[in-house]
């Protein structure tokens, strides 16, 4: 049966050039980068070259690139790392900090700003910080203060809204570059300017701006100086690289506390033997993705708009989720009133079409999409949502086939109802 894969926002196949770049480090050059002998030196050199390659592509220094196991770890390191570094005095273990530490320092609760539709790898750490910090003597909780910004019905975070909620005690703002479910592109550079000005006005040198750029990395410019970010997350599996690897950009001078302790790898911020093959693969995939982003974005934008136009004709009741233009070129997210998202995924799969109801990270959860709900949509529309994300192999013929099959499935709902 013909298979059409439309879930590239979940993961992508490894590019053959990336496989080739990684191959020597699975066998011939297998050394530990911490070794002083020749095998170790070769591994260390390859690791260094991978770091340099990524740094050049985003306008950073090599020592600002911290290799991780992927987007989730990078987001957790960003949120928990900033939180730990923001504690009063010299403490960096927020799991054991006492309520009296804040009282003695006469400090207000550290404050974090994020958006309601962020990836759960940002939201869940923020929610955990709200709960953490119980007194060891059984006193009341005093967890971090978190503001969850509303987003417009078009899925865009307002920079002015970010500005309105900034406080002297704000230590972190985390706004994703492009949403993983609806693909809306956020005004990160504009938000970055607002945060920069706020830091100058308030002399708040602890304030850090983080963006999750996992979905944006294959299509948008990630120059950190243009974006004005201090921390940035990228994941290899979204850009035709290997799974299990990513990086966190950490601007020089920004203080974050390590969350994995042991050795002093990754500038002391992430202990553990470095997976050289994966890191080399990540750098190769990122270089290819950034080199092809303009050409591939233009191609996919045409296909995206063609498909949306076809949906409007064949399924007039379909509701597009997110901004019609300010969205990733490969992303189509729709709700079908009266339909069930999971059932549609199963029926499409039976016809050779792979897509999802939303984030693959929550595919086993029965909860409605928090992203669609954040747009102000009803629970019924959230439960009838479908995400189709194209990639390098997607053709117009693929989309014609999907439109034909999909319209037949939706028409069967009408007949049933």
pLDDT digits (tens, 9 = 90+) for 180-189: 999 999 999 9
What dihedral do alpha carbons 217, 221, 224, 227 form, nearest 10°? -110
Helix axes 276-314, 38-58, angle to 10 degrees: 40
User: Tokens 């958006």 sit at which residue?
Assistant: 115
Whether residues 385 and 334 share a domain: the answer is yes
Last residue of a domain, one of 235, 255, 287: 287
Query: Residue 123 sits in which domain range?
Result: 16-287
Q: What is the Rg, in whole angstroms, of the alpha carbon atoms belonging to the chain?
A: 22
Are residues 217 and 230 part of one domain? yes
Taking the alpha carbons at both ends of the chain, their separation in whole angstroms is 30
71 part of a folded domain: yes
**Same domain? 137 vs 230:** yes
Residue 316 lies in a domain: yes
pLDDT at 367: 83
**Alpha-carbon gap, residue 402 to 379, rounded angstroms:** 26
Within a domain: 198? yes
Does some domain include residue 134?
Answer: yes
Q: Do 353 and 316 share a structural domain?
A: yes
- Confirm whether 414 is domain-assigned: no
Q: Which pLDDT score, from 0 to 100, does residue 366 have? A: 65
If asked whether residues 127 and 251 sit together in one domain, one would say yes
Tell me: the pLDDT tens digits for 29-81?
999 998 899 989 999 999 999 999 999 999 999 999 999 999 999 999 999 99
Residues 189, 102 share a domain: yes
415 inside domain? no
- Indicate the residue among 287, 319, 336 that finishes a domain: 287
Handedness of CA 56, 60, 64, 69 (dihedral sign): negative
- How does pLDDT run across 308-317, given as a tens digit for each residue? 999 999 999 9
- Could you give the angle at which helices 341-350 and 396-416 cross, rounded to 10 degrees? 120
DSSP 3-state of 39: helix
Do residues 273 and 316 both lie within one domain?
no
Number of domains in the chain: 2
Find which of 93-97, 135-139, 239-243 is predicted with most confidence, using mean pLDDT. Answer: 239-243
Residue pair 283/48 in contact by the 8 Å Cβ criterion: no
Residue 226 sits in a domain whose CATH number is 3.40.640.10
The answer to whether 361 is a known catalytic residue is yes
Q: Are 274 and 47 in contact (CB under 8 A)?
A: yes
**So what's the pLDDT on residue 87?**
79
417: in domain = no
Query: In angstroms, rounded to a whole number, what is the distance separating the alpha carbons of residues 243 and 349?
Result: 23
pLDDT confidence of residue 134:
40
Q: What is the pLDDT of residue 118?
A: 97
Q: Which residues contact 119 (CB under 8 A, 6 or more apart)?
A: 71, 75, 176, 180, 212, 214, 359, 361
What pLDDT shows up at residue 300?
99
The answer to whether residues 319 and 341 touch, using CB atoms and an 8 Å cutoff, is no
Do 196 and 330 sit in the same domain of this protein?
A: no
Query: What would the mean pLDDT of 225-253 be, rounded to a whole number?
Result: 98
Residue 246 lies inside a defined structural domain of this protein = yes
SS3 call for 210: strand
- Output phi, psi for 415, to 5 deg: -65, -40
Confidence of residue 137 (pLDDT cuts 50, 70, 90): very low
Residue 55, SS3 per DSSP: helix
DSSP structural state of residue 349? H
Same domain, 259 and 362: no
Find the range with the poorest average confidence among 103-112, 335-344, 377-386, 406-415: 103-112
pLDDT of residue 136: 37
* Same domain, residue pair 177 and 73: yes
- Predicted confidence (pLDDT) per residue in 259-317, tens digit: 999 999 999 999 999 999 999 999 999 999 999 999 999 999 999 999 999 999 999 99
- Check pLDDT > 80 for residue 91: no
Query: What is the phi/psi pair of residue 149, to 5°?
Result: -70, 140
Q: Which of 126, 214, 355, 361 is catalytic?
A: 361
Residue at a domain's end among 253, 287, 321: 287
Question: Both 182 and 316 in a single domain?
Answer: no
| CATH number of domain containing 305 | 3.90.1150.10
Cα-based torsion angle of the residue sequence 333, 338, 342, 344 in order, rounded to the nearest 10 degrees? -80
Q: Are residues 268 and 297 in the same domain?
A: no
């Amino acid at each position: 049966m013909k298979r059409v894969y439309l879930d590239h926002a979940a993961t992508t196949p490894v590019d053959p050039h990336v496989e080739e770049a990684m191959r020597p480090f699975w066998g011939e050059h297998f050394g530990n980068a911490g070794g002083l002998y020749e095998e170790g030196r070769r591994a260390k050199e390859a690791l260094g070259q991978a770091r340099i390659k990524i740094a050049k592509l985003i306008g950073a220094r090599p020592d600002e690139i911290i290799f991780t196991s992927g987007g989730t770890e990078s987001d957790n390191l960003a949120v928990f790392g900033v939180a730990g570094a923001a504690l009063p005095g010299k403490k960096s273990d927020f799991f054991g900090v006492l309520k009296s530490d804040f009282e003695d320092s006469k400090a207000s609760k550290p404050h974090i700003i994020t958006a309601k539709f962020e990836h759960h790898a940002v939201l869940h750490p923020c929610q955990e910080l709200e709960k953490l910090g119980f007194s060891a003597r059984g006193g009341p909780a005093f967890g971090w203060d978190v503001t969850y910004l509303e987003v417009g019905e078009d899925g865009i975070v307002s920079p002015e809204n970010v500005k309105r909620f900034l406080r002297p005690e704000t230590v972190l703002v985390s706004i994703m570059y492009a949403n993983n479910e609806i693909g809306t592109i956020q005004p990160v550079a504009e938000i970055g300017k607002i945060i920069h000005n706020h830091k100058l006005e308030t002399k708040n040198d602890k304030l850090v701006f983080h963006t999750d750029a996992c979905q944006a990395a294959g299509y948008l410019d990630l120059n950190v100086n243009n974006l004005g970010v201090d921390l940035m997350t990228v994941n290899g599996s979204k850009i035709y690289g290997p799974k299990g690897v990513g990086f966190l950009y950490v601007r020089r001078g920004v203080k974050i506390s390590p969350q994995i302790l042991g050795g002093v790898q990754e500038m002391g911020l992430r202990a553990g033997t470095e997976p050289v093959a994966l890191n080399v693969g990540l750098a190769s995939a990122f270089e290819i993705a950034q080199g092809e982003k303009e050409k591939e974005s233009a191609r996919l934008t045409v296909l995206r708009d063609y498909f949306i136009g076809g949906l409007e004709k064949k399924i007039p009741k379909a509701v597009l989720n997110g901004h019609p233009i300010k969205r990733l070129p490969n992303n189509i997210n729709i709700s079908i009133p009266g339909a069930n998202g999971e059932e549609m995924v199963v029926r499409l799969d039976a016809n050779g079409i792979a897509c999802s109801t939303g984030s693959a990270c929550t595919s086993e959860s029965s909860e409605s999409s928090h992203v669609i709900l954040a747009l102000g949509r009803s629970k019924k529309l959230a439960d009838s949502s479908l995400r189709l994300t194209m990639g390098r192999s997607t053709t117009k013929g693929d989309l014609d086939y999907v439109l034909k099959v999909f319209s037949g499935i939706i028409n069967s709902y009408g007949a049933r109802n």
